[in-house]
A and B are shown apart, each in its own frame.
Chain A
């Protein structure tokens, strides 16, 4: 069964850092590019970051560029999101998603909640 399981979400102080993980199973992880998508409370989904199969190409939405770093460890079948200098606006559920053919996200995890609060 194809599965994505996010972890690492917690309460963090403004200006703090956090690393999210997304463990993949049931498919050949290093065949697929991956993205992080977030949903702030009461808001819609927002694409945050993307990484290609090898980790050699990363992209970010403007609001997180320079603060967030996406990476992956294909030996561990795990995707990461390092989040630094967190602000209130980063409070959200964070989902990892597997990009399949035709630039669609075939599979998503159930998300992990990040709360930025003093």
Chain B
């Protein structure tokens, strides 16, 4: 039940694209297509951005996209905007109705 590995920080200029990686193991990320991503502004409720690796909930901007290869999932934010400054977490189903979250990545818009 070790946390999935994410870069501690990722930054970009407005309008640029950034990618956040999320590395797990063959027991979680690599085993299931149940990777989700969350945006968290401190003091607020986390918000679901991506589920089932690539799918976006209704109302989530198409600037957010997800992918997965092997044991690593990724979140790409295109057309970076100031309001995208937040903490981002990946989450994977880990079998037997358990879950594991990522270590978190702080996104800064320069």
Q: B-contacting residues of A (Cβ < 8 Å)?
A: 4, 35, 37, 44-47, 50, 52, 57, 59, 61-62, 95, 97, 100-111
A100 contacts across to B, CB distance below 8 A:
51
B64 contacts across to A, CB distance below 8 A:
none
Q: A45-B104, A111-B45 are in contact. Are A50 and B98 (CB under 8 A)?
A: yes
Q: A61-B1, A110-B45, A111-B45 are in contact. Are A102 and B34 (CB under 8 A)?
A: yes
**A-B interface contact total, Cβ < 8 Å:** 78
For the complex, what is the distance from the CA of A111 to the CA of B100, rounded to whole Å?
A: 19
Q: B46 and A103: CB pair below 8 A?
A: no
For the complex, what is the distance from the CA of A37 to the CA of B99, rounded to whole Å?
A: 10
Q: A44 and B104: CB pair below 8 A?
A: yes
Q: Which range holds the interface residue count of chain B?
A: 20 to 34
B52 at the interface (CB under 8 A from A): yes
B57 contacts across to A, CB distance below 8 A:
106
Q: A-contacting residues of B (Cβ < 8 Å)?
A: 1, 3, 32, 34, 36, 38, 40, 43-48, 51-52, 55, 57, 87, 89, 91, 93, 96-104
- Chain A nearest CB: distance from B66 CB in Å? 11
For the complex, what is the distance from the CA of A4 to the CA of B73, rounded to whole Å?
A: 28
Q: B51 and A108: CB pair below 8 A?
A: no
B3 contacts across to A, CB distance below 8 A:
44, 46
B38 contacts across to A, CB distance below 8 A:
45, 105, 108
A102 contacts across to B, CB distance below 8 A:
34, 36, 51-52, 55
Report which residue of B48, B96, B99 has the largest number of chain A beta carbons within 10 angstroms of its beta carbon. B99
Q: A50 and B103: CB pair below 8 A?
A: no
The contact of A108 among B1, B32, B47, B101, by CB within 8 Å, is B47
